[in-house]
Structures are given as structure tokens and as C-alpha cells.
């Protein structure tokens, strides 16, 4: 299949507050090629979803951001998340790992988080002018709290960071091309194929407390659709927790 490849320019930093912040500043100050990667050995203020911080031991993990100009309407912004999740999942598969995608921004192996995604969009009216896709992938780190894992823990092998970055980049290139050619159905089909707890009755919590429900998918705006007592409800990230 012939497609326009992303231009891979790598900006490698020793230490930075956050690669997403660095990318945002870069976008404001200069013209940046699509596909530019900003990677840091260590982030001293790595950002996670909402107000969370992202911590990773220096030099042992992949913490990087990629710049895109997706020509996407804001309503479809979640497709960037789908694209990045699928790319990481596929890259991990190439390392012999079966990962699942936990809506909205986690990649899991055996229920443990191996990767988090943070996307910052810059808007122009109702269009996404540019997007910074931030990826934190646990690679050669050994010590975690109980709910996280790394490639080292899963494969019992140290991994070469740059090779893994190349693999993730290759997959981003592939799935971004599907996005660029508006292949939304196909992206969603692949996403559902790997979506954690899809069609399984399981436990969640919302503002009214704990409940049993079944994830039925995501809607066009990226909200999670959950069937609960025979009624379908849509949830945004801050409205629902997995138990």
C-alpha cells in the first residue's frame, strides 16, 4: 500500500518538564514538520490525564510526544486516541505481548498498565489545527506499584529503547494513514477488537456509586457507552471509574 510517510525528525532531550509541554511551545514558536518526535530521558513534571503526574525512572522508559496536523473536526478528536492506542498495541504485539486497550488512554497487559497516552489538541474553530500525542511506555523499569508493568517485567528481557521507538513510530505511521484517509469504520473495528471489557458484564463506579454494566463501545465523540439495567448511558472520562 502506498501512502505518505510521516517525516521522522527526532528531538532528543536529556531532561525536560514534559515532552508535551515542550512540543506545545515549539508549535507556538516555529514551523514543525508533521511526525516530529520529542523524546526525553527524563521528565521532571511528566503529565498524566487530568491532574495526574506521570513518573518514570530516568533513562529506562519511553517518554515522547509526536506532532500531527490531522485535519480532523473536534467532534472526531477521539480518533487520535484510537490511532495511538492501536499503534502501541500493535508494537507490543511485535514484542510478543498481547495488550488490551482500556478506554480512554491506557494500554494494559494482564490487567496492568504498561502505557499511558495524553493528547493535547490545539484548535482553530471546530478543527484540530495540531495535535501533540504524548506516550509514556514502561520499558526497562523493574519497580512499580501493583497495577503497572513494563516490557522488562513481561518479557524478562531488557529492551533497546530506540528500536522500540522505531516500532511504535512505524505503527503510528500506519494507523495515522488510516485516519488521514478517513477510514473511521476500520479504525473503530480494530479498536473494538482490542477494547478491554467490551461486551463483558463488569463493575464500574459513577457519581451515584458502584454498578454493574457492559461496555458496548464508544460513540462518535469518544464517550464510553455502557449498558446498565437495560439502558444505554454515555460517559466521559471524569464520569466513570472501572472497579
- Comparing CB distances to ligand BTN, the nearer of 134 and 213 is 134
Q: Which residues neighbour 1 within 8 Å (Cβ) at sequence distance 6 or greater?
A: none
User: Does residue 217 belong to the site contacting ligand BTN (CB under 6 A)?
Assistant: no
User: Does residue 85 belong to the site contacting ligand BTN (CB under 6 A)?
Assistant: no
Query: Can the peptide bond before residue 161 be classed as cis, meaning omega within 30 degrees of 0?
Result: no
- Measure the CA–CA gap between 157 and 162, rounded to whole angstroms: 15
- Cα–Cα distances in angstroms (integers) from residue 197 to residues 77, 124, 226, in the given order: 22, 35, 11
- Comparing CB distances to ligand BTN, the nearer of 166 and 212 is 166
- Comparing CB distances to ligand BTN, the nearer of 166 and 189 is 166
**160, 120 contact by CB (below 8 A):** no
- Measure the CA–CA gap between 68 and 38, rounded to whole angstroms: 12
Out of 8, 49, 112, 211, which residue is the one contacting ligand BTN (CB under 6 A)?
49
Site for ligand BTN in 162-201 (CB under 6 A): none
**78, 7 contact by CB (below 8 A):** no
Give 149's DSSP letter.
Answer: -
- Comparing CB distances to ligand BTN, the nearer of 97 and 227 is 97
Out of 43, 138, 149, 150, which residue is the one contacting ligand BTN (CB under 6 A)?
43
- Comparing CB distances to ligand BTN, the nearer of 65 and 130 is 65
User: Does residue 36 belong to the site contacting ligand BTN (CB under 6 A)?
Assistant: no
> Minimum distance from CB of 142 to ligand BTN (Å)?
19
Among 112-120, 140-148, 152-160, 218-226, the segment contacting ligand BTN (CB under 6 A)? 112-120
Residue 201 host element (H or E)? strand 201-206
User: Does residue 54 belong to the site contacting ligand BTN (CB under 6 A)?
Assistant: yes
- Comparing CB distances to ligand BTN, the nearer of 34 and 228 is 34
> Minimum distance from CB of 174 to ligand BTN (Å)?
21
C-alpha cell at 90: 500493535
Residue 117 φ then ψ, to 5°? -125, 135
CA 127 and chain centroid, separation = 20
> Minimum distance from CB of 48 to ligand BTN (Å)?
3
Out of 46, 70, 213, 222, which residue is the one contacting ligand BTN (CB under 6 A)?
46
Query: Is the torsion defined by CA of 187, 149, 23, 50 positive or negative?
Result: positive
Q: Maximum distance among all alpha carbons in the chain?
A: 52
User: Does residue 134 belong to the site contacting ligand BTN (CB under 6 A)?
Assistant: yes
List of residues contacting ligand BTN (CB under 6 A): 18-20, 43, 46-49, 52, 54, 63-65, 105-106, 116-118, 134-136
Amino acid at each position: 500500500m502506498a501512502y505518505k510517510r510521516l517525516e521522522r525528525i527526532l528531538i532528543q532531550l536529556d531532561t525536560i518538564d514534559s515532552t508535551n509541554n515542550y512540543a506545545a511551545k515549539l508549535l507556538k514558536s516555529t514551523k514543525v514538520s508533521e511526525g516530529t518526535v520529542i523524546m526525553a530521558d527524563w521528565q521532571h513534571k511528566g503529565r498524566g490525564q487530568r491532574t495526574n503526574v506521570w513518573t518514570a525512572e530516568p533513562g529506562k522508559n519511553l517518554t515522547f510526544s509526536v506532532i500531527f496536523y490531522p485535519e480532523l473536526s473536534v467532534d472526531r478528536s477521539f480518533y487520535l486516541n484510537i490511532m495511538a492506542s492501536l499503534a502501541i498495541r500493535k508494537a507490543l504485539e511485535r514484542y510478543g505481548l498481547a495488550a488490551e486497550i482500556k478506554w480512554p488512554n491506557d494500554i494494559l497487559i494482564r490487567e496492568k498498565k504498561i502505557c499511558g497516552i495524553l493528547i493535547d489538541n490545539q484548535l482553530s474553530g471546530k478543527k484540530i489545527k495540531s495535535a501533540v500525542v504524548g506516550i509514556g511506555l514502561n520499558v526497562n523499569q523493574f519497580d512499580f506499584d501493583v497495577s503497572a508493568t513494563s516490557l522488562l517485567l513481561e518479557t524478562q528481557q531488557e529492551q533497546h529503547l530506540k528500536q522500540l521507538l522505531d516500532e511504535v513510530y512505524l505503527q503510528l505511521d500506519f494507523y495515522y494513514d488510516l485516519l488521514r484517509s478517513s477510514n473511521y469504520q476500520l479504525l473503530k473495528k480494530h479498536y473494538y477488537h482490542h477494547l478491554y471489557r467490551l461486551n463483558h458484564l463488569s463493575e464500574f463506579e459513577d457519581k451515584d456509586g458502584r454498578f454493574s454494566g457492559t461496555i458496548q463501545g464508544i460513540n462518535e465523540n469518544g464517550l464510553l457507552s455502557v449498558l446498565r439495567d437495560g439502558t444505554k448511558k454515555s460517559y466521559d472520562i471524569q464520569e466513570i471509574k472501572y472497579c
